[in-house]
Amino acid sequence: MTDRRTSLRWRIVLWITAVVLVALTSVVVITRSVLLSQVTDGANAAVEQEIEEFRRFAADGTDPETAEPFTSANRLMEVYLARQIPDPTESIIGFSDGQLIQMDLSALSGSHPDPMSPDDPLVREILTSPGVSGVFDDPERGPVHWGRIDFAAAPDQPPAHLAVAFFTADGRAAVNAEMRMISLLALGGLGTSVFIAWLIAGQILAPVRNVREVAASISNSDLTRRVPVHGNDEIAQLAATFNAMLDRLEAAYEDQRQFVDDAGHELRTPITVVRGQLELLESSTPEERARSIELATAELDRMARMVNDLLTLAVADAGGFLHPTEVDVAELTIDIDDKAQTISDRLRLVDVAEGTVVLDEQRVTEAILELYGNALRYSEGTIDLASEFAGTGPDRVLRIWVRDHGPGVPEEKRAALFSRFSRGDNAVGTHRPGGAGLGLSIVQAIGEAHGGRAFVESTVGLGSIFGLIIPAPETAEASEPSANADNADNTANPDSADGTAPDM
């Protein structure tokens, strides 16, 4: 049983959870950084604003008692601080002549920072720092952004200092509280995404589970189960492809079982004959013994031919069956005629196509000679041989066929002629011994290996035409078809005008 921790559904959920977790974590981190940056920018802006206001007051302000410019730094800072109402997170202090100047805010409503003492770490940091601004991490107040302006009310007076301190602890605490709320919402969203991912993964993988269940239920004796196909997405296409594979496996299994049954039946007959003849040898006369040996040898030869045919079909089924080359069709047809004449002089060459085609010359010759041998066994009289081109351009095909004048093949039996171990009947309905019913199967395999097929056209009582159709598309450089190719069928049947072999 599959461990759920490593199941595909859990892996999908974990990957989606990881992606969502990374996205939410990135959002939380970026949001916190942005909010803290806003707090920092706000503190710096407040400090700069106060410093700039004091700078303008020092340049343009007058003493309200004398209506004259300030001549004392202490007086300048006292008047300025008296007019300021700092924020709850802001402190403004002055330092002149060793004195710390700051407003008493206790009488004002609201919360305000506590007054500072001269020995306060923040005061020492502000007064002793070589820079005029900075950030100080106060152990009690937290991070403090400060700015300082150094000035002299008169040229003959010592320098004085005014500083602005902005406390960011409250702002940072507000940011942290907001981030805790956002984090809780993110965790809720993460839990929701895990639940949704679980449901979505289940829906996505449901057809895959159906495929697994069907595959698990298939046995050698039952290949009929199929996966239900719903929709037209990738999963549905997978189910359809799996069903098509099962169709092919079922067909192949049925063909294999039928083939084994037929092969066992066909091989059993010669084995029985050979065994029977061998059992008669001991008590037979010399003449009978010679006859028994002759019969046994004939059956062994027939069995050897059957095995060779089976091997040929096995090679065809496995691929690598052909070794095609560019062949001159006229030379191929004449060569087939010469070889057929050595078997029997009943052959008559009626038409020869002119042109070249890429094919396996030996296999095509084997197929046509097999058709010629069948015609010799099942008919009397002359047998015609012809090659011709039909069609034009990319649809052009080469047809090589033999025609006999035998009893013909009824239409209902033609479909089974090219099946393995299928044999026809002679004129009186009895089989003439010699083949195992594999010859036409080999012819069909040769045709299909070339991308074409074997064909039969027959008229009962007049004869049959058996042949091969092989694709022979014309290229742009191909020459015009010859007159013989154009009129090939007219020679075989003057009434035919479509370039096909005539029906009998």
Per-residue pLDDT tens digits for 163-194: 999 999 999 999 999 999 999 999 999 999 99
How far apart CA 72 and CA 55 sit, in angstroms, is: 15
The class that CATH gives domain 234-317 is mainly alpha
pTM of the predicted model as reported, rounded to 2 decimal places:
0.49
Contacts of residue 417, defined as CB under 8 A and 6 or more positions apart, other chains included, come to: 409, 424, 440, 456
Q: How far is CA 390 from the centre of its chain?
A: 40
Q: Is the CATH number 3.30.565.10 carried by domain 321-492? A: yes
Q: Name the CATH topology of 4-175.
A: Beta-Lactamase (3.30.450)
pLDDT at 106: 64
The runs of H, that is alpha helices, within 281-328 are 286-318
Query: Looking at the chain, which residues constitute the CATH 3.30.565.10 domain(s)?
Result: 321-492
Q: How many residues does the chain have?
A: 504
Identify the pLDDT of residue 178: 94
- What is the spatial distance between Cα 264 and Cα 308, in angstroms, rounded to a whole number? 15
Structure tokens at 484: 């013989």
- Report phi then psi at 406, rounded to 5: -85, -160
Lookup result for tokens 């005629």: 337
Q: What is the pLDDT of residues 105-126, one digit of tens each?
A: 666 666 777 888 888 999 999 9
Q: Identify whether the C-beta of residue 82 lies closer than 8 Å to the C-beta of residue 65.
A: no
Note the pLDDT of residue 248: 85
Residues in the chain, pLDDT under 70: 1-6, 105-110, 220-221, 262, 265-266, 317-320, 420-437, 476-504
Among 445, 301, 282, 430, residue whose Cα is nearest residue 366: 445
Q: Where in the chain is the domain with CATH 1.10.287.130?
A: 234-317
* pLDDT at residue 288, as a whole number: 83
Single-letter residue type at 82:
A
Could you give phi then psi for residue 300, rounded to 5 degrees?
-65, -40
- Parts of the chain belonging to CATH 3.30.450: 4-175
| CA 370/CA 375 separation, integer angstroms | 9
CB-side neighbour CA atoms (13 Å) of 44: 10
| SS3 category, 437 | coil
pLDDT of residue 484: 42
* DSSP for residue 149: E
pLDDT at 423: 58
Token pair recorded at residue 476: 């742009």
pLDDT at 465 (0 to 100): 94
